[in-house]
Amino acid sequence: MSQTSILVLTTGGTIDKAYFDALSEYQIVDSGIPALLKEARVSVPFRMVELMRKDSLELTDADRALIASAARQAPETHIVVTHGTDTMTETAKVLAKAVPGKTVVLTGALSPARFAETDAPFNLGMAFAAAQTAGPGVWIAMSGQVFDGLKVRKDREAEKFVAI
């Protein structure tokens, strides 16, 4: 398999949240994605661009247009987008229309990457693998699966993503 460079676009979300003390709310801080990739000894070439630091519930149409524009204009054809899980599927729909011919994989976490018990490293690894092996289109790598980005939903009660 060739070493195709992967573009990582970070947008915020739970994967990059920190909890400072019992009286604080979560805050999105500097992305922990580079540290996760270093710890995992990722040797695939990648370039990271921080687009924003937002909870996905705060994303606007303009934010989604920015994500789509960055993906569309990038020289890379394999893209991982870290994103909050609450509106990940909404962004997937925008990307599916706006970024043809590229492989775009969205991923995030149900608990912050900085927590001892988190799905963040696993999901990020799944996203990197999917970006290298999936065909063009928009995909979501969550809950130990790679889903068609247009045929998935977050099941809050089960605390996982499920195909629809």
Tell me whether residue 14 is one of the annotated catalytic residues.
yes
Q: Is the pLDDT of residue 130 over 90?
A: yes
Mean per-residue pLDDT, 115-140 = 90
**What is the reported pLDDT for 106?**
98
Q: Which residue has the higher pLDDT, 107 or 116?
A: 107
Cα–Cα dist 9/129, whole Å = 16
Mean per-residue pLDDT for 104-121? 79
57-94 pLDDT, tens digit each: 999 999 999 999 999 999 999 999 999 999 999 999 99
Give the residue extent of every domain in the chain: 6-163
| Sequence-separated (6 or more) residues with CB below 8 Å from residue 107 | 15, 80, 81, 82, 83, 123, 124, 126, 127, 140, 141, 142
pLDDT given at position 160: 92
**What's domain 6-163's architecture?**
3-Layer(aba) Sandwich (3.40)
Quick one: pLDDT at residue 1? 45
Average pLDDT over residues 146-153: 97
Judged against a pLDDT cut of 80, whether residue 11 lies above it is answered with: yes
Check 10, 14, 85, 107 and give the catalytic one: 14
| Spatial contact of 103 and 77, defined as CB atoms under 8 Å apart | yes
pTM for the whole structure: 0.88
β-bridge partners, 81: 9, 106
What mean pLDDT is predicted for residues 10-15?
86
Interval 25-51: pLDDT, tens = 555 556 778 877 888 888 899 999 999
Is pLDDT at 113 greater than 90 in this prediction? Answer: no
Could you tell me if 40 and 120 are in contact, meaning their C-beta atoms sit under 8 angstroms apart?
no
